[in-house]
Amino acid sequence: MAVMAAAGLVSLSSTPFDPVARAQPDVMTPAGPGTGPVAPDGSAIAGTRRVDERHLELTVHSAAMNLDFPVDVQLPADRSAPRPVLYMLSGGSGGKGAASWDRRTNAFDFLSDKDVNVVQPIGGAASYYADWRQPDPRLGIMKWSTYLTEELPPLIDAALGTNGVNGLVGVSMSGTSVLQLPITKPGLYRSVAAFSGCARIADPVGEMYVRITVGFGGGDAGNMYGPSGDPMWAANDPYLHAEALRGLDLYLSSGNGMPGPHDKAGDRHFAGAGDSLANQILVGGILEAAVDQCTHAMADRLADLGIPATVELHPYGTHSWGYWDDELPASWPVLAHGLGL
């Protein structure tokens, strides 16, 4: 429950933290007395900005990384009782710029009539939202698993008065992460949806996919899990540890790399300037064909273990936001069941 979730947090004020009441439109509250919950490890909600009646922008300090990160929040349609939280992770860009749920999809509109707190952490580009074995010269200290499982949820629960029930959605890079995080922190999440992710990272093809993704973001995956064959790759492979996903409401999906309805100029998900439709079709097709193999393998693994999962393997679709936007409503019954909605 919300009161239990807040245990261990130190309030900076005798007045309960109300992010809606404290945040002023277009004004970022500086860190200091009364700003928000603070954990014993030093992680804290350092600032808030109210965008409108339903939307907040939080600044959350990670003690593990000693950095502040934005977190976008959409409050539930009905706030008369404590509600669950749906965490939505972005792909390789970490949600910065145009490649995010709020910029490239209708996710927040779709969820606007749902009784759920929607939380979109920003940051973690090329990180796989993992705890890296050592700092990366380009990306710095990466302790994203600690941030997402240990630091952020208690702060969100305390600040928003949630009921302590969580769901998790990820695409592309984070389609791997959303299967890793529930294994790292059993019991934290009740439902998980992974769109176009690759769970089998200790496999040579999966490892190559991870290294390409991290390299594209300027990092070196060797600083994450070490050289090929290092035990850390297997230790963080959701395919190998799929048994730990038993009991979750699971949804997995992928396209097969062939062009589909969203691979055309003028599609509402296509950003246009700075993007290339040819790149989406060619590179996005190759990427999606690869993750399609990963999704097939993970689906087979879950079936072999007798772990129920809803799996959608589409006969078209590239590695792009239009298809992930379609998958959110498709996955909602599975997510909602785990969230108790």
* Tens-place pLDDT, residues 149-181: 999 999 999 999 999 999 999 999 999 999 999
First to last CA, the chain: 16
* Confidence category of residue 75, pLDDT binned at 50, 70, 90: very high
44 within some domain: no
Model pLDDT, residue 35:
57
In this predicted structure, the answer to whether residue 59 has a pLDDT above a threshold of 50 is yes
Q: Are 279 and 243 in contact (CB under 8 A)?
A: no
244 within some domain: yes
Indicate whether this model's pTM tops 0.75.
yes
63 within some domain: no
Higher-pLDDT residue of 120 and 279 is 120
Mean pLDDT of the chain: 87
206 within some domain: yes
Domain count for the chain: 1
- Token digits of residue 74: 């959409």
Model pLDDT, residue 22:
46
Q: Which helix (H) or strand (E) holds 182?
A: helix 173-184
Q: Check which CATH number belongs to the domain holding 82 and give it.
A: 3.40.50.1820
Return the bridge partners of 195, or none: 171, 253
The dihedral formed by the CA atoms of 216, 220, 226 and 229, expressed in degrees to the nearest 10: 40
* Confidence category of residue 31, pLDDT binned at 50, 70, 90: very low
48 within some domain: no
235 within some domain: yes
Q: Of 26-30, 81-85, 89-93, 159-163, where does mean pLDDT reach its minimum?
A: 26-30
Model pLDDT, residue 282:
81
What is the span of the domain harbouring residue 99?
Answer: 71-339
157 within some domain: yes
Placement of tokens 């996903």 in the chain: 245
- Which of 41, 217, 7 lies closest to 146 in space, CA to CA? 41
181 within some domain: yes
* Confidence category of residue 325, pLDDT binned at 50, 70, 90: very high
